[in-house]
Amino acid sequence: MIRPILKYGAAGLHHPARDVEAITPEILALIDDMVATMYAAPGIGLAAPQVGVPLRVFVVDLSVGKDPAAQITMINPVFLDREGMQLEEEGCLSVPGFNATVSRPQRAVVRGLDREGCERQREGTGLLARAFQHEMDHLDGRLFVDRIRGIKRDLIVRKIRKLAKSGQW
C-alpha cells in the first residue's frame, strides 16, 4: 500500500523516532508499504516518520527498484563510523520541489536489523553514505532544511510557509 508522505512542518517529522521493540507482521507490512511508497514517489530512501510512523526504520535503494539486491532495510540503525565530507545538492520527499547543498559524510557505516531480525552492517560511500545520513536524520527528527543556514534556508522556509497559507502545501 502506498502511504501519504508527510511534508515539512508536520509534527511527526520533527521529533525523534522510537526503537522497534519486535519485528511483528505490522512492522513487516510497514516496511513493504515504505518500499512501495518510496518507489512510487519516486525516491531512493524513506524513513518511517515520513509516513507518520514514529519508529526507527528506513529503506534505501539507489537503483530505485531496478536491482532487488540494492534494497536496504534498517531497523533500529546506529552509526558505527562516519568520515570525510561531501557537498552535494539533495532533496527530500518530505520537502518536494526544494533542493539545497548539504554537507554529508563521504563514508558511513551503519548497523541495524534487517526485516528478518538479523543484525546487519552496511558501509556506504558517496551517494549511499549521503542516503544513510539523510534517513538517519529523519529518525532523529531532522530534515535537510535543518542542516542548511542563512539565506538559502530562510528562502525555503518562507516559500513553504507561503504555500501552506495558500493551502498548496
Q: Give pLDDT tens digits for 57-71.
A: 999 999 999 999 999
Here the cell at position 112 is: 541495524
CATH of domain 11-165: 3.90.45.10
Here the cell at position 74 is: 534498517
69-114 confidence digits (pLDDT tens): 999 999 999 999 999 999 999 999 999 999 999 999 999 999 999 9
Q: CB of 157 within 8 A of CB of 145?
A: yes
Decide: residue 36, CB within 10 A, 0-12 exposed, 13-18 middle, 19+ buried.
Answer: middle
Kindly state the helix (H) or strand (E) to which residue 88 belongs, with its residue range: strand 86-90
- 26 classed as catalytic: no
Catalytic residue among 88, 116, 123, 135: 135
Residue 3's pLDDT is 98
User: What is the pTM for the complete model shown?
Assistant: 0.96
Residue 97's pLDDT is 96
Binned at pLDDT 50, 70 and 90, residue 34 comes out as: very high
104-143 confidence digits (pLDDT tens): 999 999 999 999 999 999 999 999 999 999 999 999 999 9
In 3D space, the residue among 26, 40, 6 whose CA is nearest the CA of residue 75 turns out to be 26
Residue 109's pLDDT is 98
Work out the angle at residue 27's Cα, subtended by the Cα atoms of residues 26 and 33, and round it to the nearest 5 degrees. Answer: 90
Q: What DSSP assignment string belongs to 107-124?
A: EEEEEEE-TTS-EEEEEE
